[in-house]
Amino acid sequence: MHISELQTPALLVEQAALRHNLDTMSAALPGGRLRPHVKAHKCTSLARLQYANGHRGFTCATIREVETMAAVGLGEDLLLANEVLDTRRLGRLVEDGHRVTVAVDSAETIKAAAAGGIREVVIDVNVGLPRCGCPPESAGPLADLARRAGLVVRGVMGYEGHLMLVQPEAERREKTEQAMRRLLAASADVGGELISAGGTGTCTVNIWANEIQAGSYALMDTAYEQLGQPFQQALFVLGRVISVSAGWAVVDVGLKALSLDHGLPSIDGTEVWFCSDEHTTFRTDGVPQPAVGDLVRVRPAHVDPTVALHDTLHLVDGTQVLEQWPVDMRGW
Amino acid sequence: MHISELQTPALLVEQAALRHNLDTMSAALPGGRLRPHVKAHKCTSLARLQYANGHRGFTCATIREVETMAAVGLGEDLLLANEVLDTRRLGRLVEDGHRVTVAVDSAETIKAAAAGGIREVVIDVNVGLPRCGCPPESAGPLADLARRAGLVVRGVMGYEGHLMLVQPEAERREKTEQAMRRLLAASADVGGELISAGGTGTCTVNIWANEIQAGSYALMDTAYEQLGQPFQQALFVLGRVISVSAGWAVVDVGLKALSLDHGLPSIDGTEVWFCSDEHTTFRTDGVPQPAVGDLVRVRPAHVDPTVALHDTLHLVDGTQVLEQWPVDMRGW
């Protein structure tokens, strides 16, 4: 099928770029050194490629992601890197033989994990991002509490999300080291084998964690592209020019097809003015004039929430659609 | 069911506020004076209430919205207020007896409408927002072209979207008049009975269009709330506090559950610091301390793309869930 037959807007994944990204990352962080984060693509077909590349453990952000990964046979070692208070759905997965580990950072989340049938946890440590995670000095006592509740404590995790886009790289490296020193201190108190951290922005500089939770590297976006990492933009939203005026044109890709939380999307060779619910308006002065009906690739600034707006990923080789993959881990 | 039994994040619609909004708008713009825009809620259960309030015609932004409205028996008079180039799915609806009118603003979209089996169109006129719509002086010639292609031209539409949030109201009124003067000039050239325009922001000041395409009024958001209109916030995203630290706490409502294109969401009584994929971090200094497990209502800044992230609207009366409505018009 040619991409012109797709109902626009449509999510495209360029196969060669995806392959490059997956293989580049697997060479840098082979096997268990990478715990791919599925929140970035929410697609078990793509997770299967990561598994085939040697990564048997995955990171999830939602209960739905854990459930769906388990349902398709990718439940060997799933880490829900987030706090949850009702763990009953996860407990049922454990009962069915899937390995599910949950992040905890408080007495309440430890109690919830034990109550719902979870058997394994990691202590989530705040390494500088004001979000979830306990202070490093509380990690040991929380691990003791978890063990007293009958839970196995597999180690620690800490997400240096505030450092992902720090430039230049030397500064990102230095700040990542400071953040990871906090995590290593907690790890010394907690014990266990896991020191889980990182993301696409720090995957090349975080040498302290023993597994990296990167996800965006597979599809990439314009925010991460600025870092000059060895990954290529693989995700695009395909649209059609539906209106051309004197000075601007409109493509049928809007807020409901791409996320603006990291800023406006990009269109090669021109400048995006603004996005509305179903439209992106771009400048046509000084660029080759588009015609009504032209296909346009829009590059989102943030891949994760953009993917979550679609029900299908179209794997393409240029203008040819090779496969259609359901975005099957949406929702909660 | 009590709201504490819902998997968070969950979309809540407060019944009394919804009822107030629907009735207030129907009193101000009865019957055909309002053509409710379904893009704001994407929910046929809610559209049925608008129909029951006397509004038989609806505005849609996507082919999927038109198809779904027709499928549930709300296809008496559906206006797709957007340009489309492949109208075959719409043509099939026309063939099945539904009334579908499409916006056109170019020779290409007129040709596409006729080719796909569309019989009725409106000429979309640019009234100042640089998006779709022809210049007012082109509207007459385009109407002639459409009629020569065998289409019935029902009139004109023009969306003054750039004026929705202009303050104070006197300035919004004055600028709306200027925009509508352009539309009335086009209407004089085009003919037909429809002069369709407007939105929630201008519904009380646009006295020139003969039907208003408002949608957000039903659920409301914090962006429109600033205007001081007689509508109440009816939409909330329910979350749970999953982590409490010294100075901040985290609720499990993030970018994938609310849209940030109009800015950060609000939480009554405190200040939101930032949103991540699955989290909103808010200040706890100087406010009553939240506890892990507390339910929190997050108020989105923009209703339309927030609704599109969810598959269910939970109609509530305070803490009681009354009904669960599918968000059945998502996608394209």
Could you give the ipTM of this predicted complex?
0.96
Q: Do B255 and A261 make contact, defined as CB atoms within 8 angstroms? A: yes
- What pLDDT shows up at residue B225? 87
Return d(Cα A91, Cα A64) in angstroms, integer. Answer: 13
Residue A223 maps to a domain: no
Judgement on whether residues B128 and B276 belong to the same structural domain of the protein: no
Judgement on whether residues A242 and A291 belong to the same structural domain of the protein: yes
Domain span at A284? 3-11+231-326
pLDDT tens, position by position, B292-318: 999 999 999 999 999 999 999 999 999
Judgement on whether residues B89 and B48 belong to the same structural domain of the protein: yes
Residue B223 maps to a domain: no
- What pLDDT shows up at residue A226? 87
pLDDT tens, position by position, B51-80: 999 999 999 999 999 999 999 999 999 999
- What pLDDT shows up at residue B53? 98
With b meaning 16 or more CB within 10 Å and e meaning fewer, what string describes B103-141? bbbbebbbbbbbebbbbbbbbbbbbbbbbbbbebebbbe
Mean pLDDT score of chain B: 97
Residue B53 maps to a domain: yes
Please identify every stretch of chain A with a pLDDT value under 70, giving residue numbers as ranges: none
Residue finishing a domain among B218, B242, B267: B218
Locate the chain A residue with the closest alpha carbon to B310: A331
Q: Taking residues B234-249, what's their average pLDDT?
A: 98
Judgement on whether residues A183 and A212 belong to the same structural domain of the protein: yes
Among left, alpha and beta (phi > 0; psi -120 to 50; other), residue B277 is alpha
Decide if A271 touches B, using CB distance below 8 A.
Answer: no
Note which residues in 167-226 of chain B have CB less than 8 A from chain A: none
Q: What is the CATH number of the domain that holds A175?
A: 3.20.20.10
Binned at pLDDT 50, 70 and 90, residue B165 comes out as very high
Residue B331 maps to a domain: no
Q: What is the CATH number of the domain that holds B252?
A: 2.40.37.20
Provide the domain count of chain B: 2
Percentage with pLDDT > 70 across chain B: 100
Which of B4, B110, B137, B292 best probes binding to A when mutated, by most A CB atoms within 10 angstroms? B292
Using CB atoms, pick whichever of B39, B108, B256 lies closest to residue A277. Answer: B39
CB A209 within 8 A of CB A197: yes
**The residue to which tokens 């770029």 are assigned:** A17
Residue B226 maps to a domain: no
Of B216, B195, B189, B173, the residue nearest B42 (C-alpha): B216
Using CB atoms, pick whichever of A106, A131, A332 lies closest to residue B276. Answer: A131
Note which residues in 30-69 of chain A have CB less than 8 A from chain B: 39, 61-63
β-pairing verdict for B10-14 and A211-212: unpaired
Q: Which residues on A lie below 8 Å from B62 (Cβ)?
A: 278
Residue A226 maps to a domain: no
Residue A133 maps to a domain: yes
Residue finishing a domain among A196, A218, A240: A218
- What pLDDT shows up at residue A225? 86
Judgement on whether residues B64 and B207 belong to the same structural domain of the protein: yes
Decide if B72 touches A, using CB distance below 8 A.
Answer: no
Judgement on whether residues A150 and A241 belong to the same structural domain of the protein: no
Judgement on whether residues B134 and B29 belong to the same structural domain of the protein: yes
Classify burial at B216, counting beta carbons within 10 Å of its beta carbon; exposed 0-12, middle 13-18, buried 19 or more.
Answer: buried
Decide if B292 touches A, using CB distance below 8 A.
Answer: yes
The answer to whether residue B91 scores a pLDDT higher than 90 is yes
The answer to whether residue B226 scores a pLDDT higher than 90 is no
Judgement on whether residues A112 and A40 belong to the same structural domain of the protein: yes
Distance from CA of A78 to the nearest CA of B (A): 18
Residue finishing a domain among B218, B250, B274: B218
Judgement on whether residues B196 and B287 belong to the same structural domain of the protein: no
Residue A332 maps to a domain: no
Judgement on whether residues B213 and B257 belong to the same structural domain of the protein: no
Decide if B108 touches A, using CB distance below 8 A.
Answer: yes
Judgement on whether residues B199 and B72 belong to the same structural domain of the protein: yes
Judgement on whether residues B104 and B202 belong to the same structural domain of the protein: yes
